[in-house]
Amino acid sequence: MLQLGPLAFLSAPILGALLLLPLIWWILRISPPAPRMVRFPAIRLLFGLRQDEETPARTPLWLLLLRMLLAALVILALAHPILNPAVGRIGTGPILIVVDDGWAAARNWPARIAAVDALLDDAERTERPVVLLTTAAAPSGEPPPELSLQRAADVRAAVRALEPKPWPVDRAAAARRLDGLSLDAPASVRWIAEGVEGQDVAVLARRLQRFGRLEVVTDPRAEAARLIRAPRRDGLTLTLVAERAAAIGPERLFMRGLATDGRTVLREELAFAPDATQAETARDLPSEILNALAVLRIDEEPSAGATFLLDEGWRRRPVGIAVSGAVQSGHPLLDDLHYLTRALATYTDLRRGSLSELLDGRLAVIAITDAVTIPDDVRPRLDAWVEAGGVLLRFAGPDLSDGRDDLLPVTLRVGGRALGGALSWSQPQPLSGFAADGPFAGLAPQAEVTVSRQLLAEPSIDLVQKTWASLADGTPLVTGAPNGKGWLVLFHTTASADWSSLPMSGLFVQMLQRIVALSQGVTGGDAEGPLPPVEVLDGAGRLERPTRPIRPIAVSDMLRTAPGPDRPPGFYGDAAGVRAFNLSPSLAALTPFPRDLPGGVAIGTFGRGTAERDLKPWLLVGAVLLALADLMIALGLRGHLTGLGRPLRRTAAVSFVAAAGLAAGLAAGAPLAEAQTAEPSVSEEAALAATLKTHLAYVRTGVADVDRISRAGLGGLSRTLSQRTSIEPGDPIEVDIETDELAFFPLLYWPVMPEQPALTSRAHGRLLAYLQNGGTVLFDTRDQGAVAGTLDLGAQLVTPEGRKLREILRGVNLPSLTPVPPDHVLTKAFYLLHDFPGRWTGGSVWVEATSGNRNDGVSPVIIGGHDWAGAWATGPEGQPLLPVVPGGEQQREMAWRFGVNLVMHVLTGNYKTDQVHVPAILERLGE
């Protein structure tokens, strides 16, 4: 390789062909252009005359210069020039590459791999050996192999297999691995580091400096990894907490809550103050949502640190209702358990059984009515369960009034108190209020709730502290007291409507919600021994079944053990229940990298510096244009262009100047080339392939995880089309609305993300032209039907994705849209469908209201929020990548059918609306 300042030639020997330019000049000079034939009858008089001297015509000087420039461009292109090659920036000698591949590297993982690829490209050009060192422990847990010099091609294969790990890096161990490495010459050392500080940074840096000059490349502070800290729950209030490494000004992020079936049940915005490294938000949520939460994730932050798992002990409050063998009343409204069951069933995992059966399970609350007697052999187990953290909820009644049961928060008087009736002078008492420091604080008493009978508590010094709710005369209605880690709670009236109207009120439901929320989670039934892994997190924060041996972990070790190769974060347990083992509790406060580097270390960030640019394609394009100009000039000199109405020499001169100027601009890196994207997503080869075969395309969002799912989704749909229809599409292609040619693709899948940059006016114009010329765009907001109801882009699109869609379509003359009508072609293009589910279901899908004969009846815009790519997405072996809810694999099949109908509709138009198909369709429908 030959380097001249910022320009390098990968095939420098070919430049020797430039020495042949004088010979080419001489050959071109003595080669006259073809003679021009002019028919003139009088010329026959000159036939037979002998000419003593002949002077050949000379090639014009400007044409010689044009052809010399053409030859020079071809020679320079074959020499493969590179502008700003990486080789000029990393010195000489062997290349030592160090890659941080811990959890914090997952955020910008593609940029890290691209940086390593650039180093390997340079190593291949210069034939320099490479050493690759990763700082996170390998998943296998086995001792890593000794470091040695390798060929760049062999290292590239290892880099392709690299993935971020769901545990922190171990830089001290990496430094020890370097002790066995010996190099014959000073090396160029490049450390691809995480954007957050960790332990032993200085130790590894000083060890690397022994091999040569060290340069560290890391994330910009604004791009460093984010972390979810443990959320807090106070009753029905959920507080979400996120953390960043540096106070870099105001910032917003969104945290998503997922249920066990993958369904999104929560999405909240967290805002960082300009000088804060933590952001939190508190929301009062329905207990149904709190009980369903299983996973918290920061949107578009694919890392184990940005994922927090919630186990049954955190999110669920299973409640058991003790029943006895006594025969209950035949009328449900008189049953002791009727109102209690109705009040608890809406927001808890309700179980019924004997006390012995309930204690064998994992429960947060056990409710006992007066009709249930606690057996003597069960009493010790019940005491231990409460002391371990359970909440025992008791209800008064005639049997409890004898004073023999002492498993209560207060001591009861023998007998009861009747209020109202023929033999009483008093009236039923209303509620007076709730203790300000009790669990019912903030609830409003309802005037219609009255109590006609209750059990009274014996006066005591601490009775006031134990009273959570009282009647108007000051007597307690609900009392509670701690017992070990648990609680004893007593309603001084029955669970039925015999003694009060409280069980028939909405206040009863609210009071029980507060008591259930008071519990600390499930107790009882915990395994004594270590828990085996059920699902574990990978480096991108995705849950997966274990594919390698993983050590079990004891519950007591989860809070004092950091995740690692032998015990990654995830869910551990068995069929009786699982426990969540998270990464963030073991991590110290995030700080930006680097903070403790020794002197003499160069520091850079991803995205800085001038990108390497390959000039060979542009030189070849210039050569082709010059060849075309030469062809036009040759035709003009032969008289074939006289019909243009312009002087021949002027036409040739203008063609020469234009072609030479364009070629010179390309050779020098003209602004035309600079205006293009450095790495177009559709190369020239891909563009050619797109014209030879039908390809499905998706719009690049810039969010790596979303783009990956879009590609996998369209790949899965393409395979389905090949298997079920006559369409044989090629691989999906990623397009950039700003720069790429859209006319190749009949259908664009556009996942709408709030993080997408705003479209420029040029992009809006390209999008509008694509729609007007027959293209179709499927906009997927991926938010479970954000466009439900009447589509008003100014008012109905209220989610972040919806607002981004409104922004995208602001510059587009959008046609009138309507939900897909029952007789639309989409419902019968290939399969007969009634709805169009994706990964989610339930929302509307919108198409053009009246397409008529324009574009053969194909709607230019289709809008929905079902995450179709997530349902279509499959792996290399055809296995689904993401769950679909709530319909499972049957719903995925319907999503594939919608995809087939969509593509058939786009490619065939209103073909299925022809009357010839009506009999077959009616027969299929059974009409």
Distance CA 105, CA 373 (A): 59
> Residue 212: left if φ>0, alpha if ψ -120 to 50, beta else—which one?
left
For residue 605, what are the β-bridge partners? 218
Domain presence at residue 495: yes
Write the CATH number for 361: 3.40.50.880
* Element (DSSP H or E) covering residue 907: helix 888-908
For residue 2, what are the β-bridge partners? 9
Q: Which two tokens stand for residue 745?
A: 């693709």
Instruction: Find, among 695, 716, 691, 710, the residue nearest to 898 by Cα.
Output: 716
Distance CA 23, CA 38 (A): 33
* Element (DSSP H or E) covering residue 114: helix 109-126
Please list the ranges in the chain whose pLDDT falls under 70.
1-12, 28-59, 84-92, 141, 235, 287-288, 313, 315-316, 325-335, 346, 403, 418-426, 520-529, 575-577, 595-596, 607-612, 637-691, 784-798, 811-814, 850-856, 910-927
What number of CA atoms fall less than 13 Å from residue 551's CA on the CB side?
Answer: 13
Q: What is the pLDDT of residue 469?
A: 94
Q: What is the pLDDT of residue 737?
A: 85
Q: Which two tokens stand for residue 527?
A: 């395994």
Burial of 255 (0-12, 13-18, 19+ CB in 10 A): buried
Distance CA 852, CA 544 (A): 48
Sign of the CA dihedral running 902, 905, 908, 912? positive
Q: What is the pLDDT of residues 819-868, one digit of tens each?
A: 888 888 888 888 888 888 888 887 788 888 765 555 667 888 899 888 89
Please enumerate in sequence order all residues whose Cβ is within 8 A of that of 333, keeping only pairs 6 or more positions apart, or say none: 497
Distance CA 568, CA 202 (A): 27
Which residue type sits at 501?
A: S
Please enumerate in sequence order all residues whose Cβ is within 8 A of that of 806, keeping only pairs 6 or more positions apart, or say none: 793, 794, 797
For residue 580, what are the β-bridge partners? 571
Instruction: Count Cβ atoms below 10 Å from residue 288 Cβ, excluding itself.
Output: 11
Distance CA 149, CA 152 (A): 9
Which residue type sits at 96?
A: L
First to last CA, the chain: 76
Query: Do residues 775 and 651 both lie within one domain?
Result: no
Q: Where are the alpha helices (DSSP H) in 183-231?
A: 201-209
CA distances from 265 to 236, 262, 569 (A): 15, 9, 23
Distance CA 255, CA 704 (A): 17
Query: Do residues 384 and 497 both lie within one domain?
Result: yes
Domain presence at residue 787: yes
Distance CA 915, CA 927 (A): 16
Radius of gyration (C-alpha) of the chain in whole angstroms: 38
Q: What is the pLDDT of residue 326?
A: 47
* Element (DSSP H or E) covering residue 381: helix 379-387
CB 643 within 8 A of CB 114: no
Query: Do residues 274 and 389 both lie within one domain?
Result: no
Query: Do residues 909 and 785 both lie within one domain?
Result: yes
Query: Do residues 619 and 595 both lie within one domain?
Result: no
3-state SS assignment for residue 469 = strand
Instruction: Find, among 172, 311, 170, 303, the residue nearest to 243 by Cα.
Output: 303
Domain presence at residue 35: no
Domain presence at residue 697: yes
DSSP category for residue 138: P
Query: Do residues 232 and 360 both lie within one domain?
Result: no
Which residue type sits at 450?
A: T
Write the CATH number for 693: 3.40.50.12140
Distance CA 865, CA 801 (A): 9
Q: What is the pLDDT of residue 597?
A: 79
Among 272, 300, 328, the domain-final residue is 300
CB 466 within 8 A of CB 492: no
CB 457 within 8 A of CB 464: no
Instruction: Find, among 246, 104, 243, the residue nearest to 169 by Cα.
Output: 104
CB 296 within 8 A of CB 228: yes
Query: Do residues 469 and 391 both lie within one domain?
Result: yes
Please enumerate in sequence order all residues whose Cβ is within 8 A of that of 665, keeping only pairs 6 or more positions apart, or say none: 671, 672, 673
Query: Do residues 751 and 789 both lie within one domain?
Result: yes
Query: Do residues 285 and 391 both lie within one domain?
Result: no
3-state SS assignment for residue 573 = strand
CB 243 within 8 A of CB 219: no
Query: Do residues 346 and 491 both lie within one domain?
Result: yes
Domain presence at residue 534: no
What ranges make up the beta strands (E) of 341-390?
350-353, 365-368
Buried b (16+ CB within 10 A) or exposed e, 727-740: bebeebbbbbbeeb
Q: Which two tokens stand for residue 615?
A: 């000039």
Q: What is the pLDDT of residues 732-763, one digit of tens each?
A: 999 888 888 888 888 999 998 887 777 777 78
Burial of 179 (0-12, 13-18, 19+ CB in 10 A): exposed
What is the value of pTM for the model shown? Answer: 0.52
Burial of 5 (0-12, 13-18, 19+ CB in 10 A): exposed
Q: What is the pLDDT of residue 425?
A: 46
Query: Do residues 661 and 730 both lie within one domain?
Result: no
* Element (DSSP H or E) covering residue 778: strand 776-780
Q: What is the pLDDT of residue 33?
A: 56
Question: For the chain, how many structural domains are there in total?
Answer: 5
Q: What is the 3-state secondary structure (H, E, C) of 394-459?
A: EECCCHHHHCCCCCCCCCECCCCEECCCCCCCCCCEEEEEECCCCCCCCCCCCCCCEECEECCECC
- DSSP string spanning 694-740? ---EEE--S-HHHHHHHHHHHHHHHHHHHHHSS------EEE-TTTS
Angle at 108 between CA 103 and CA 109, to 5 degrees: 70
N residues, the chain: 927
Write the CATH number for 599: 3.40.50.410
3-state SS assignment for residue 488 = strand
Among 518, 549, 574, the domain-final residue is 518
pLDDT-above-70 percentage for the chain? 78
Domain presence at residue 373: yes
For residue 489, what are the β-bridge partners? 393, 480
Q: Which two tokens stand for residue 493?
A: 């009236």
Q: What is the pLDDT of residues 7-20, one digit of tens each?
A: 666 566 777 777 77
Q: What is the pLDDT of residue 143?
A: 75
Domain presence at residue 53: no
Q: What is the pLDDT of residue 850?
A: 66
Which residue type sits at 775?
A: G
Sign of the CA dihedral running 367, 372, 378, 380? positive
Angle at 598 between CA 593 and CA 599, to 5 degrees: 115
Angle at 297 between CA 535 and CA 802, to 5 degrees: 130
- Give the range of the structural domain holding residue 281, as residue numbers without chain letter: 227-300
Q: Which two tokens stand for residue 721?
A: 């089309």
Instruction: Find, among 117, 122, 521, the residue nearest to 315 by Cα.
Output: 521
Distance CA 879, CA 715 (A): 12
Instruction: Find, among 512, 400, 391, 506, the residue nearest to 453 by Cα.
Output: 400
Instruction: Find, among 273, 280, 299, the residue nearest to 234 by Cα.
Output: 280
Domain presence at residue 638: yes
Query: Do residues 275 and 359 both lie within one domain?
Result: no
Burial of 899 (0-12, 13-18, 19+ CB in 10 A): buried
C-alpha 283: how far from its chain's center? 24
